[in-house]
Amino acid sequence: MFFSTILKKNQYFCTVIEVEICTPSRQSAEAAKLGGAYRIELCRDLACGGLTPCDEDIEYCVRTLHLRTHVLVRPRAGNFYYTSDEVDAILHTIDRCRQLGAAAVVIGFLDYYGRIDVALTRRAVEIASPMEVTFHRAFDEAHQQPLDALQAVVESGCTRLLTSGQQPTALQGADTIRQLVESTHHFPLSSSHLKILAGSGVTPANVKDLIARTRVAEVHGSCKITLPDGTVQTDAKQVSNLLQATQEF
């Protein structure tokens, strides 16, 4: 965990900031660990928004790298309205992630009308238990007002929500993210402990401003570079800088 104290409206507030690094391969996971990360979102094919990684990579990150591994479960690129066969495959993958020792799964379901599919998400949460469940940026594509979509995610039983505030980047959506954070404070403790995870375009240069504007306690960044062959990979130095930025006053 990483501590950050931020000056806002002439008052200090202290919060513990957790940093999640998005890693599209086992090599990226190794780089994230080298940079000081302890928590990753593991996926593959980041160029299309990320897809489910293979079992071998999940097991490697959990049992060899000893990273807190949150696994993206997304069988294909495109929208988040799935066929029954795709749903069955997703639920099977969630169960497999639990068996492999993942700490969490990252999922997102929309219905035919583009709204958060509460019933299907709740079913996935039940299968995932005792893993945590993050509802991913399908939220940012939902055809709902942000607070209505938030209520749907709460009703589904998810642990956290990854969002850019329904904007291309988290900084652009900072005002909406702040609304979401503040709204979670008004939910009864018996109904939700939902955490808001701000992601998209998060960098060492802007993360302090993002935290100050949104009051999030968790941030998500890819810290990526593009290699000469076109491969996208996590950069250990950027990871280190991002972690350092969350500790500075």
Those residues whose C-beta lies under 8 Å from the C-beta of residue 202, and which sit 6 or more positions away, are 170, 210, 219, 220, 221, 242
- The type of residue at 58 is I
CB contact at 8 A, 29 and 40: yes
The Cα–Cα gap between 2 and 5 comes to: 10
Those residues whose C-beta lies under 8 Å from the C-beta of residue 248, and which sit 6 or more positions away, are 4, 208
pLDDT tens string, the chain, 249 residues long: the values are 333 333 333 333 456 899 999 999 999 999 999 999 999 999 999 888 999 999 999 999 999 999 999 999 999 999 999 999 999 999 999 999 999 999 999 999 999 999 999 999 999 999 999 999 999 999 999 999 999 999 999 999 999 999 999 999 999 999 999 999 999 987 765 555 899 999 999 999 999 999 999 999 999 999 999 988 888 899 999 999 999 999 864
For the domain bounded by 2-245, which CATH number is listed? 3.20.20.380
pTM (global) more than 0.75: yes
The Cα–Cα gap between 58 and 42 comes to: 7
User: What's the pLDDT at 186?
Assistant: 79
User: What's the pLDDT at 1?
Assistant: 33
User: What's the pLDDT at 207?
Assistant: 97
2-8 and 11-23: which strand pairing? antiparallel
The half-sphere exposure of 44 on its side-chain side, counting CA atoms within 13 A, is: 11
User: What's the pLDDT at 77?
Assistant: 96
User: What's the pLDDT at 2?
Assistant: 33
